[in-house]
Structure 1
Amino acid sequence: MSKEFDTRLLHPRNWLTWFGLGVLWLIVQLPYPVLHALGSTVGKMSRRFLKRRERIAARNIELCFPQMDAASREAMLEQNFMSLGMGLIETGMAWFWSDARVKKWFDVEGYDNLTKALQQHRGVMVVGVHFMSLELGGRVMGLCRPMMATYRRHNDPLMEWVQTKGRLRSNKAMIDRRNLRGLVQALKAGEAVWFAPDQDYGPKGSVFAPFFSVNEAATTNGTWVLSRLSGAAMLSITMVRKANKKGYVLHISDVMSDYPVNDEIDAASYMNKIIEKEILRAPEQYLWVHRRFKTRPRGEASLYHAASPH
């Protein structure tokens, strides 16, 4: 991972990607209300081409909100794909907008919670959630207070360079999410480190805990391990899109003073409750197209039969 440009990225095999990035750069020069309308429209149209993702999102919403009627679930699904289109636009905003332009479009709630936690000089574990606006949320977060973030390296070297350069415009460093030693060292040095424990990362390093109405959801125990090894404070930061094209709000929670550090199952259940609360700020903006419940207890059938490829 480096911001240094490698001339090999100019190879003809990357020209199509360069073209796409150029188009995205041009698009995000438009006024924000136009970008909002464009992203929402593109996302809505994408449903007809992303049928497998549509089935996954519909199944996740059905599993998490079984009491919701069919019409309400369909409305959330429609809004979710509109948000998916906005996520692409917001990625361009995060990578290519100036600091001044980004600052015009967001408000912050709870900033004192972060500053007070950092004043304790024991590091801060910043819990994030995979909203569609996540990339822009990282840029906004760094403008409030530059920090470090965990990430998964992109398979494409050009996209790895672009996303790293974009993310480091307002943040300090990116740390591979598998680099436990690096994460613990950063926290012990008093840094704020962002990570998102809300996805299904497979059976290794996970436990089963309730998540919404699914009693057994594979939940990473990385949060619990980091907490025990680093002794860092912990709080959540999420950014949601305002209604009526009015921009964004970055929510910074109080420090989680009652996090259960003695039991990994209790810790996973606690964290999932925190994540549920954050998702419910704007559930239609959450990344429901991810197979959140793909890992099942041994012997249990998949919850995604209709969504799984054959």
Structure 2
Amino acid sequence: MTSRTDLPLPLPPRGPRHWPAWLGVGLAVLLARLPWPLQRRLGAAFGALALRLARARRAAARANLALCLPELDADAREALLRANFRDTGIGLCEFARAWWGEIAPLRARTRIEGLEVLQRLQAQGRGVLLVSGHFTTLELCGRLLCDHVPVAGMYRPHRSPVLEWAVLRGRLRYASAMFSNRDTRGALRHLKQGGILWYAPDQDMRGKDTVFAPFFGVPAATITATHQFARLTGCAVVPFFHRRETGADGRDLYLLRIGEPLAPFPTADAVADSTAVNAAIEAMVRQAPSQYLWLHRRFKRQPPGSPPRY
């Protein structure tokens, strides 16, 4: 099977205009190698600072929480907003640790449920589209899952060639392959050959084939790729939930939960399938609302005649 891991990464650019990016990568690598308790405190502090300074993102997150969780009163939503920025800051440290650090101390603090689902589908030779949402723990928990089954991923290339090289090199330490969102053929081939592919379809992908499907009861422009991947390859679409918990000893635990394949899926209706995928991700969010990427303007595009959401 041809994959990104079979191909040498091109040498990264090193000219003076790329030095600031290299400095940022170097600092992130150093951060990734600090003891986790210190990393966690730094991440929480960064999240608190971002809450004060990132006004546009704060406004987007506040609007999303009001749209999606109207059952909470204003004080509860503000508390969730603060927790979300804290967890986002911690999540940045988890990203860095997954890419460039060691996770051996965290393996013993990990619980995986439903691994037998993937093993059963692998034994059948069936491809798996592992559907998740943009949670702050996605990169670290993806790496932890790769300890048990070979998982490839799809990603959106970075504009900075330095970040593109550094992040891709970090991910290929554990992922079986990485496919750019422009490499649809490679991803389809991987699924047809029985591979497992991680995919998060919960963002508004401009320029892609989308339909409006409800997410927390609000129309959301939803990419139809999950429906198309399943229709073209016969793969199983399997929900993958992950979160950070606090153990009885006060230390972090990581929960990874593999669900049963969505069924019936795919159907002939892309809107119905996209609605089913959004419902699965919504259920995940309700289990760990502070760890979801509320900073993304999920409802920026709306059906004609709808009021603006931001």
Same fold (TM over 0.5): yes
Tell me if structure 1 keeps the 8 A contact 2:188–2:229.
yes
SS in 1 for 2:153: strand
Structure 2 counterparts to residues 97-176 of structure 1, below 5 A: 97-98=101-102, 100-176=104-180
In the alignment, what sits opposite 1:275?
A: 281
Tell me if structure 2 keeps the 8 A contact 1:35–1:89.
yes
Residue 240 of structure 2 is aligned to residue 237 of structure 1: yes
Deviations 1:116-171 (A, max 9, x none): 11111121111021001222222222222122111111111110011101111111
**2: CA distance between counterparts of 1:122 and 1:108?**
21
CA RMSD of aligned residues (A): 1.8
In the alignment, what sits opposite 1:22?
A: 26
**1: CA distance between counterparts of 2:62 and 2:71?**
14
Task: Classify 1:203/1:162 alpha carbon distance in 2 versus 1 (closer, same or farther; 3 Å).
Answer: closer
In the alignment, what sits opposite 1:224?
A: 227
In the alignment, what sits opposite 1:302?
A: 308
How many residues align? The count is 302
TM-fit CA distance, 1:23: 2.1
TM-fit CA distance, 1:251: 1.4
TM-fit CA distance, 1:259: 2.7
Deviations 1:80-112 (A, max 9, x none): 100111121111111122353452442211111
**1: CA distance between counterparts of 2:8 and 2:254?**
28
Tell me if structure 1 keeps the 8 A contact 2:230–2:266.
no
SS in 2 for 1:276: helix
Task: Classify 1:249/1:173 alpha carbon distance in 2 versus 1 (closer, same or farther; 3 Å).
Answer: same
**1: CA distance between counterparts of 2:207 and 2:158?**
22
Long gaps (5+) in structure 2: none
Tell me if structure 2 keeps the 8 A contact 1:148–1:172.
yes
Task: Classify 1:22/1:229 alpha carbon distance in 2 versus 1 (closer, same or farther; 3 Å).
Answer: same
Long gaps (5+) in structure 1: 305-310
Look up the equivalent residue of 1:109 and give its one-letter code: E
TM-score (norm 2): 0.92
In the alignment, what sits opposite 1:308?
A: none
Tell me if structure 2 keeps the 8 A contact 1:42–1:85.
yes
Task: Classify 1:73/1:246 alpha carbon distance in 2 versus 1 (closer, same or farther; 3 Å).
Answer: same
Look up the equivalent residue of 1:36 and give its one-letter code: R
In the alignment, what sits opposite 1:194?
A: 198
SS in 2 for 1:94: helix
**1: CA distance between counterparts of 2:238 and 2:188?**
16
**2: CA distance between counterparts of 1:174 and 1:210?**
30
TM-fit CA distance, 1:15: 2.1
Tell me if structure 2 keeps the 8 A contact 1:33–1:245.
no
In the alignment, what sits opposite 1:4?
A: 9
TM-fit CA distance, 1:290: 0.4
Look up the equivalent residue of 1:218 and give its one-letter code: A
Q: Percent identity?
A: 38
